[in-house]
Amino acid sequence: MATMLAGRLDLVTGKFGMEQVAIPEPGPGEVRIKVLAAGICLSDVHLIDGSLRLKPRPGFTTVTLGHEVAGVIEKLGEGTGTWWKPGQRVLLQAGQSCGACALCMTRTGCLRPLTRGVDYDGGWAEYALARQDTLIAVPDMLPIEQAAILPDAVSTPYAAIVDTAALRPAESVGIWGIGGLGAHGVQLVRAFGAAPIIAFDPLPEARERALALGADLALDPQQPDVREQVLHWTDGRGLDVALDLAGVAPVREQAQSVLAPRGRLVLVGLTPAPLSLSQGIGFCAAMQQVRGHYGSRLEHLPQLVKLTRLGRLDFSRSVSAVLPLADAPLGVERLMKKQGNPIRLVLQP
């Protein structure tokens, strides 16, 4: 039996490690991808450190992590469409619909699709399986390690900005948390005409990064004059859009305090804790809104590939380092400790 190296998480013990596992065979409508690049996401780190937990189920007690994946088609399963050929460069959607529940069958769109590297095996491996309808062709001029981070690292803030927030040109935007998602959020809102762009992060390195990527102002959220600074930069109005990428209560409270009339607070960072807002009367009187957000839709990834291919977006600065697949535990540790202030670390089998 041919085997491959994979980064596996034991859902019972919580232990993560590199293992030799069988190379998967593609089923009907599936393709096998030779992985060339796979991003390390903060959610992967949270799965490993136990702050996010997956429930084992019969026949599924370990999972290969990795939902930001790009590579080349290596083998086609039966019934695969003629538009895919071995050797084609592709990236993989971060998830897929189940294809069986009522939302899928009625084509209304699944709100919580199955996630690669969570609900089924992902791409921290030498090979990965993908359903043919979840593949996106990667143009030759797009480096494969940049293509790999488009799912999730870029598509999640993109969807939050263009869909959930419904950003309009010249609207003011605040972004809390300039990590992997926030760094891309700054670039995206600038590309779509936000003005001004205000970044919030307690780390000096993150604030410097926000300014380098296009923010007009970068503030330490712990400083006492944050509200005064925001009002000064927005001509006394406040923020039209506030993006919470941290998922913590202090961020929501601060964002609400600097929100403009009819402003939208978009919750991108996930938290299991109850959500609450102070100043309820003022919130309602100003007709402000809180909007929840999760992931992205299938059409967003082809849009991002097109925008990147035609030079409207450039994420060449986002790949902080490329590590061998065998060093996945080291990459997780580096991201966990923020060593080198990385935006994205990419694994390469």
Q: Per residue in 199-235, pLDDT tens?
A: 999 999 999 999 999 999 999 999 999 999 999 999 9
Q: Which segments of the chain are extended strands (E)?
A: 3-10, 16-22, 30-40, 62-64, 69-76, 89-92, 95-96, 114-115, 127-131, 135-137, 173-176, 197-200, 217-219, 239-244, 259-267, 289-292, 319-324, 344-348
Q: Per residue in 254-268, pLDDT tens?
A: 999 999 999 999 999
- Report whether pLDDT(277) > 50: yes
Domains contained in the chain, CATH given: 3-152+296-347 (3.90.180.10), 155-292 (3.40.50.720)
The confidence score (pLDDT) of residue 100 equals 58
**What's the rounded mean pLDDT across residues 290-294?**
91
What's the pTM?
0.90
Q: How far is CA 2 from the centre of its chain?
A: 32
- Report whether pLDDT(101) > 80: no
Q: Out of 13-17, 101-105, 286-290, which region has the weakest mean confidence (pLDDT)?
A: 101-105
Q: Per residue in 36-51, pLDDT tens?
A: 999 999 889 888 988 8
Residues 40, 332: contact at Cβ < 8 Å? yes
Q: How far is CA 216 from the centre of its chain?
A: 23
Q: Per-residue b/e over 203-232, b at no fewer than 16 CB within 10 Å?
A: eeebbebbeebebbbbbebeeeebeeebee
The confidence score (pLDDT) of residue 98 equals 64
Q: Per residue in 137-167, pLDDT tens?
A: 999 999 999 999 999 899 999 999 999 999 9
The values of phi and psi at residue 4, to 5°, are -145, 165
Task: Give the 3-state secondary structure percentages of the chain, helix then strand then coil, rounded to 5.
Answer: 30, 30, 40
The confidence score (pLDDT) of residue 77 equals 93
